[in-house]
Amino acid sequence: MSASDFERYEIEIDNPLYPIALKDMNEPPEKLYVIGNPSVLSAKSIAVTGTRRSSPYGKEASKIVANEALAAFVPVITGGAVGCESVAARTVLENGGLHIAVVGTGADVDYPSSNVDMFELTVETGGAIVSISPWGKGPTRAGFARRRKVIAALSQMMVVVEAGFPSGVFSTAECAMELGREVWACPGGFFTPESRGCNMLIEGGAKIICDSSSISRAISSL
């Protein structure tokens, strides 16, 4: 069984299940394709994003953020990617939390294949897989670019745990800032390429994560 075997929904913009947060976008998607629990999309949540080529530092930072979300009973949104996002999602799912995967393919497409079990568990535990691409749509650059805005709009707060520059992660954070969402970033070493994006975000106004207490306080204010 895969996530695609569960109940599917097509939620148009005038449907009561359509999350109000997405209407903050200049051009909100007219329809969402959802597998799982559509009501979870309207819950206060935080987005966790980071590089696919995560370092041990990035993985540990992902776990810390995910655990603070768990402690506050707040769903975690990711793009369902490998690396930092996968670590955050799996940390949440393995400890009884809720995960929302905003994917760049059709919601019924198991991509990346290494995360098939993660997508299945996301739906089984009361979370959701959501896309603005139609059923069966394969991975495209445009699809992944469009989902960044959805991730940013759907969350009330975004945490960037590790990102180089240039990076799609950096673009997702910029979308969140444009929408007035709080953006937090984990600082990294001056000579660490994987942290350049995070450091630049902090320089540009993102709030710095000093320790787990920083995230705990931020989540409690949502």
What letters, b where the CB count within 10 A reaches 16 and e where it falls short, cover 192-215?
bebbbbbbbbbeeebbebeeeebb
> Residue 142 above 90 pLDDT?
no
Question: Would you state the pLDDT for residue 97?
Answer: 97
- Contact by Cβ (8 Å): 100, 154: yes
> Tokens 């954070």 belong to which residue?
173
Neighbouring-strand partners of residue 35: 8, 129
Model confidence at 169, pLDDT cuts 50, 70, 90, reads confident
> Residue 59 above 70 pLDDT?
yes
pLDDT tens digits for range 15-30 = 999 999 999 999 999 9
Question: Would you state the pLDDT for residue 81?
Answer: 94
pLDDT tens digits for range 188-199 = 988 888 899 999
Model confidence at 166, pLDDT cuts 50, 70, 90, reads confident
Q: What is the pTM of this model?
A: 0.95
Question: Would you state the pLDDT for residue 193?
Answer: 87
Question: Would you state the pLDDT for residue 22?
Answer: 97
- Tell me the C-alpha distance between 184 and 81, whole Å: 19
Model confidence at 4, pLDDT cuts 50, 70, 90, reads low
* % the chain with pLDDT above 90: 79
Q: What average pLDDT does this structure show over 49-68?
A: 95
Element (H, E) at 220: helix 212-220
- Tell me the C-alpha distance between 109 and 136, whole Å: 6
Which position has the higher pLDDT, 168 or 208?
A: 208
141, burial (CB in 10 Å: exposed 0-12, middle 13-18, buried 19+): exposed
